[in-house]
Amino acid sequence: MTALSLRPARHAVPGVFVALALTLVIGWLVVMLDGGQLFNQSTTVSLLHVAAGLGLVAVGQTLVILGGSLDLSVAYVISLSTLVAAEAMNGSDGALLPAIGLALAVSAAIGLLNGVLVTKLRINAFIATLGVGLLLKGYLDNGYDGPAGESAPALVRTLGYQRIGPVPVSFLLLLAVTAAAWFALSRTRFGHHLVAVGGDPEVARLSGVRNDRVLITAHVLCSLCAGLAGVYLASRLGSGAPRVGTEGLYDLESIAAVVLGGTALAGGRGGVLGTVGGVLLLASIDAVFNQLEVDAFFKQVIRGVIIIAAVAVYARRAMRKAGS
Amino acid sequence: MADPQPAPLLALRGIGKSFLGVRVLDGVDLDVAPGEVHAVVGENGAGKSTLMKIVSGGYSPDEGTVEFAGQPRVFHGPRDAQRAGVGIIHQEFNLLPERTVAENVYLGHEPVRRGLVDRREMLDRTRRLLASIGETALPADSRVGQLGVAQQQVVEIAKALALDARLLIMDEPTAALADQEVELLYGLVRRLQERGIGLLYVSHRLTEVFDLSSRITVLKDGRRVTTVDTARTNTDELVRHMVGRELSNYYPQRADPADRGPVRLTVRGGGNRKLRGVDLELRAGEVLGVGGLQGSGRSALARALFGVAPFTTGDVELDGEPVRLRSPRAAMRAGIAYVTEDRKGEGIVARQSVLDNALLASRAVFAARSGRAARTARVRELLDAVEVRAAGDDQEIRFLSGGNQQKVVLARWLALTPRILLFDEPTRGIDVGAKSAIHDLVRRLATDGAAVLMISSELPELLGMSDRIVVLRDGRIAGELPAGATEEDVVALAVGAVREAAA
């Protein structure tokens, strides 16, 4: 056997954090030259708020993508969750916890549906979750013209606006959820099995993994994360908002963040830490452009370029790895 | 026929299996004792892999019994067999390249403590397992994707042992290994033997079979020919057992050596990832047969000539002019056509019409404006000439029989008037009647002056059709045989049973 330099499989710092650091440094310089300041209290706080909302969704999305699936219904789940939460609270603190529980339960049920469609009925994840998303869209469009319900004041005060220094509570919630997901992936059988199913379903099956059960669980967790993002948005907006998920592009942006974070879109490789990096990267780009008052359309173009460039870099790396 | 060990680990009795009315296995008996290496040899299609799948739970037998560790067993799927203690190492590994050695070894039964995966325990156990088979150099926490093939094989074996396998099936375990790695595998096999593990060793390579096994079972056409003590046989006898069926089919008359034209294609020192030092001449008017075992580089040769996976070293000359065949498109423009082995995947566009399929190549390579009507008319003529039987030109090709599909593919290439035709298993999955029609077509093309290269794993076909035969082994040309060679000659070259007389 040739003396290979066998490094243990510690995951190196994903490239996304390098990109994040570069973006922040360059952004800081450019904004300074423009006569502004990138890191004042209010921009930092708003950056972290943006990251919290997108991050909650993206961490869930990471789980299903790692398992080789995908969830396009998250945007609608978010909208629905804001409405369920806000309407159940109806402005009273007394109903706070049951309302959150209800919103999460509804989300989990949708995740269960997604999972069952993908595994038991073997519908392609793209189509299955898109279909479920459209189903929810129909319900939302039919039932709501605008904001409805009223979030509990306590929720708005805490999750919505409270912060520790410049760090909003919502961002701490994201960190907690990320830590939990990381722990689940590296320290539970479920996590090991999920990555195996995404890496090669046949290998997983032949090794005794119950693929369907694992993937359904991942879908439920993904929807729960989206539901939690909905609760957070309800706390920011003070009410339920039937279009907030789609207008925020949470479906596509969450997938973009996952891919930026180095998780393979085909599954089997990656993790939630990279995803948080991807989320912070997208949020930072947003913050820089806001400071520079860049045209909103141009902003979209730049984001598109960045996502494509990042994926191209990963593809090249994968090719080099395969070639060596 | 000795039966030395009193209590066999595995005992197969009268195993029979049919697929769609075709009998693949018929009354096969086989024993494996604990600590024994029992080799199974036979030609392609002799039924080896079906038999192994029956032992490892992939198929259930139609007839006969499987006894494992003294008890009659019916395995419901591979997992069931694994739990019972039967592990199988496939030619293609069942590993996750992105995960560590330990994670792969314990996938599906990770050690847990208080509900959480105990990573340290998992690593420790993997290290102990690797040490117990003498593989201390392999780090349990390295990513499987960065290991070499030989090391990945060790991981596969460790994975089977982690489930307490008592019988290991190794299917062509050396197919992917380099020469020096084979030695390491030998050592590993012997250590497994010492642990009392029974091994079923399937291999084409007789050298290994003789080096490792204590008994050899020869399969042919789904039946057990014989089981012999390795010490009491030799390669010649084994090869005789493996082949020797009568040539019953009819093949068209070969070319008269005088009619062979000039050299069309010359390869000198051609090599790429799968081929090394290939020297080849292909003449107009001849059918050059290419034999060899699966994975010996037969298809790789055709794919190199057609520019799919080009030669990276060496020279190719076409009619005496050097050419670079870097893409299928370039090859087609140079007058080369390629009828692929995998008709469904690479040959036909299943949902398109017969006519569209036949026009595919000419449309792709030649400018659209140059006489569309004339081209269509010509392709229609060709479809008639090769006698495609379809409800009409506009019928979707997937509704045609295999033989007719193949004729459409052929018409597609003839539309380009190729001077060199590469056929890869042209009659695979085609019924007998259509087969001889294809044979006639192939011969007629050669008679009309085309240079034909034909790959076939069916020995009678290879022998019946070819004017010359080259046999590949491990990506090299192992030798060339004239018309009139025997099956034994081909097999002997393919498995490396003859020491090449210093040529």
Residues ≥6 apart with Cβ < 8 Å to A318: none
CB count in 10 Å sphere of residue B461: 21
- Provide the pLDDT for residue A314: 78
Q: Per-residue pLDDT tens for B470-485? A: 999 999 999 999 988 8
DSSP string, B288-321: EEEEE-TTSSHHHHHHHHTTSS--SEEEEEETTE
Look at B42 and A164; give whichever has higher pLDDT. Answer: A164
B233: which 2 tokens?
Answer: 């046989």
CB count in 10 Å sphere of residue B443: 19
Q: Per-residue pLDDT tens for A211-228? A: 999 999 999 999 999 999
Question: Nearest Cβ partner of A192 from B79, B117, B181?
Answer: B117
B450: which 2 tokens?
Answer: 């085309």
Q: To the nearest whole number, what is the mean pLDDT of chain A?
A: 90
> Per CATH, is B261-335+418-503 categorized as 3.40.50.300?
yes
How many angstroms separate the CA of residue A172 from the nearest CA in chain B? 25
Beta carbons of A208 and B108 less than 8 Å apart: yes
B494: which 2 tokens?
Answer: 């393919």
> CA nearest B463: which of B193, B243, B223?
B243
Does the residue A4 lie in any domain?
no
Segments in B306-451 forming alpha helices (H): 328-333, 354-365, 372-385, 402-414, 432-447
Count of structural domains within chain A: 1
- Provide the pLDDT for residue B46: 80
Helix (H, G, I), strand (E, B) or coil at B128: helix
Task: State how far the alpha carbon of B157 is from the alpha carbons of B48, B169, B191, B192, in Å.
Answer: 20, 10, 12, 10
- Rounded-to-integer distance, Cα B300 and Cα B341, Å: 11
Whether residue B109 contacts residue A217, with contact meaning beta carbons closer than 8 Å, is answered with no
Beta carbons of A202 and B146 less than 8 Å apart: no
Chain A positions touching B137 (Cβ under 8 A) are 1
CA atoms within 13 A on the CB side of A316: 7
Question: Nearest Cβ partner of A6 from B94, B146, B150?
Answer: B146
* Interface test with chain A among B89, B107, B186, by most A beta carbons within 10 Å: B107
Whether residue B204 contacts residue B495, with contact meaning beta carbons closer than 8 Å, is answered with yes
- Rounded-to-integer distance, Cα B415 and Cα B192, Å: 58
- Kindly give the pairing relationship between strand B22-32 and strand B198-202: unpaired
Question: Nearest Cβ partner of B141 from A4, A8, A269?
Answer: A8
Q: Per-residue pLDDT tens for A100-124? A: 999 999 999 999 999 999 999 999 9
- Provide the pLDDT for residue B478: 93
Beta carbons of A209 and B95 less than 8 Å apart: no
- Provide the pLDDT for residue A302: 85
Which of A233-237, A286-290, B342-346, B376-380 holds the top average pLDDT? A233-237
Partner A contacted by B149 (CB < 8 A):
no
pLDDT at B246 over 70: no
- Rounded-to-integer distance, Cα B392 and Cα B375, Å: 18
pLDDT at A197 over 70: yes
- Provide the pLDDT for residue A14: 66
Question: Nearest Cβ partner of A199 from B98, B108, B139?
Answer: B98
Partner A contacted by B115 (CB < 8 A):
yes
Residues ≥6 apart with Cβ < 8 Å to B340: B346, B347, B424
Does the residue A19 lie in any domain?
no
pLDDT at A75 over 80: yes
Beta strands in B79-147 (DSSP E): 86-89, 112-113, 116-117
pLDDT at B318 over 90: yes
Beta carbons of B107 and A192 less than 8 Å apart: yes
Angle at B149 between CA B143 and CA B155, to 5 degrees: 55
How many angstroms separate the CA of residue A288 from the nearest CA in chain B? 36
Q: Which residue of B has its CA nearest to A66?
A: B98
For tokens 């192992």, name the residue. B478
- Rounded-to-integer distance, Cα B86 and Cα A22, Å: 54
pLDDT at A324 over 60: no
Whether residue A59 contacts residue A275, with contact meaning beta carbons closer than 8 Å, is answered with yes
Q: Per-residue pLDDT tens for B7-65? A: 789 999 999 998 777 788 999 999 999 999 999 998 766 888 889 999 998 888 999 99
Answer whether B8-85+165-171+197-242 and B261-335+418-503 agree in fold. yes
- Provide the pLDDT for residue A303: 83
- Provide the pLDDT for residue A98: 95
Beta carbons of A207 and B139 less than 8 Å apart: no
How many angstroms separate the CA of residue B106 from the nearest CA in chain A? 9
- Rounded-to-integer distance, Cα A167 and Cα B107, Å: 40
Partner B contacted by A268 (CB < 8 A):
yes
The CATH code belonging to domain B8-85+165-171+197-242 is: 3.40.50.300
Look at B301 and B1; give whichever has higher pLDDT. Answer: B301
pLDDT at B90 over 90: no
Task: State how far the alpha carbon of B394 is from the alpha carbons of B347, B357, B371, B405, in Å.
Answer: 18, 10, 20, 13
Q: Which residue of A has its CA nearest to B138?
A: A6
Model confidence at A323, in pLDDT bands (50, 70, 90)?
Answer: very low
- Rounded-to-integer distance, Cα A261 and Cα A253, Å: 12
Rg from Cα positions in chain A: 20
Partner B contacted by A33 (CB < 8 A):
no
Among A68-72, B21-25, B87-91, the range scoring the smallest mean pLDDT is B21-25
Does the residue A324 lie in any domain?
no
Beta carbons of B119 and A187 less than 8 Å apart: yes
- Rounded-to-integer distance, Cα A16 and Cα A258, Å: 10
Average pLDDT, integer, range B291-313: 91
- Each residue of B236-254: b (16+ CB within 10 Å) or e? eebbebbbeeeeeeebbeb
Look at B58 and B498; give whichever has higher pLDDT. Answer: B58
Beta carbons of A208 and B82 less than 8 Å apart: yes
- Provide the pLDDT for residue B469: 95
Partner B contacted by A278 (CB < 8 A):
no
Model confidence at B249, in pLDDT bands (50, 70, 90)?
Answer: low
Burial class (CB within 10 angstroms; exposed 0-12, middle 13-18, buried 19+) of B68: buried
Helix (H, G, I), strand (E, B) or coil at B209: helix
Among A3-12, B194-203, B236-245, B276-285, the range scoring the smallest mean pLDDT is A3-12
Q: Per-residue pLDDT tens for A241-259? A: 999 999 989 999 999 999 9
Average pLDDT, integer, range B390-406: 86
Partner B contacted by A320 (CB < 8 A):
no
Model confidence at A16, in pLDDT bands (50, 70, 90)?
Answer: confident
Beta carbons of A199 and B82 less than 8 Å apart: no
The whole domain housing A144 covers 41-314
Helix, strand, coil % in chain B, rounded to nearest 5: 35, 25, 40
Beta carbons of B117 and A187 less than 8 Å apart: yes
Partner A contacted by B244 (CB < 8 A):
no
Beta carbons of B96 and A199 less than 8 Å apart: yes
Q: Is the dihedral of CA A166, A168, A171, A176 positive or negative?
A: positive
Partner B contacted by A65 (CB < 8 A):
no
> pTM, whole model, 2 decimals?
0.75
Question: Nearest Cβ partner of B117 from A7, A188, A269?
Answer: A188
Strand order in the sheet with B263-271: B278-283, B263-271, B313-318, B321-323
CATH, residue A184: 1.10.3470
Q: Is the dihedral of CA B449, B451, B455, B458 positive or negative?
A: positive
pLDDT at A308 over 80: yes
Beta carbons of B147 and A7 less than 8 Å apart: no
Helix (H, G, I), strand (E, B) or coil at B481: strand
How many angstroms separate the CA of residue A114 from the nearest CA in chain B? 24
Chain B positions touching A2 (Cβ under 8 A) are 148
Q: Which residue of A has its CA nearest to B81?
A: A206
- Kindly give the pairing relationship between strand B215-220 and strand B37-41: parallel
Whether residue A303 contacts residue A64, with contact meaning beta carbons closer than 8 Å, is answered with no
pLDDT at B362 over 80: yes
Partner A contacted by B160 (CB < 8 A):
no
Does the residue A15 lie in any domain?
no
Partner B contacted by A196 (CB < 8 A):
yes
Beta carbons of B94 and A195 less than 8 Å apart: no
Task: Please report which helix (H) or strand (E) contains residue A304, including its range.
Answer: helix A296-323
At B457, the amino acid letter reads: S
pLDDT at B486 over 90: no
Beta carbons of B147 and A4 less than 8 Å apart: yes
Model confidence at A45, in pLDDT bands (50, 70, 90)?
Answer: very high
Task: State how far the alpha carbon of A155 is from the alpha carbons of A128, A162, A226, B179, in Å.
Answer: 33, 10, 17, 69
- Provide the pLDDT for residue B6: 57
Beta carbons of A268 and B107 less than 8 Å apart: no
- Each residue of A159-186: b (16+ CB within 10 Å) or e? bbeebeeeebbbbbbbeebbeebbebbb
Chain B positions touching A271 (Cβ under 8 A) are none
Look at B289 and B393; give whichever has higher pLDDT. Answer: B289
Average pLDDT, integer, range B315-343: 92
- Rounded-to-integer distance, Cα B431 and Cα B436, Å: 9
Q: What DSSP character marks residue B231? A: G
Whether residue B38 contacts residue B213, with contact meaning beta carbons closer than 8 Å, is answered with yes
Q: Per-residue pLDDT tens for B431-481? A: 666 778 889 899 999 999 999 999 998 888 899 899 999 999 999 999 999
Question: Nearest Cβ partner of B94 from A7, A193, A203?
Answer: A203
Residues ≥6 apart with Cβ < 8 Å to B214: B36, B37, B38, B229, B230, B231
Q: To the nearest whole number, what is the mean pLDDT of chain B?
A: 87
Average pLDDT, integer, range B206-220: 91
Partner B contacted by A72 (CB < 8 A):
no
**Residue ranges of domains in chain B:** 8-85+165-171+197-242, 90-163, 261-335+418-503, 352-416
- Rounded-to-integer distance, Cα B221 and Cα B324, Å: 42
Question: Nearest Cβ partner of A1 from B115, B137, B142?
Answer: B137
pLDDT at B149 over 80: yes
Partner A contacted by B187 (CB < 8 A):
no
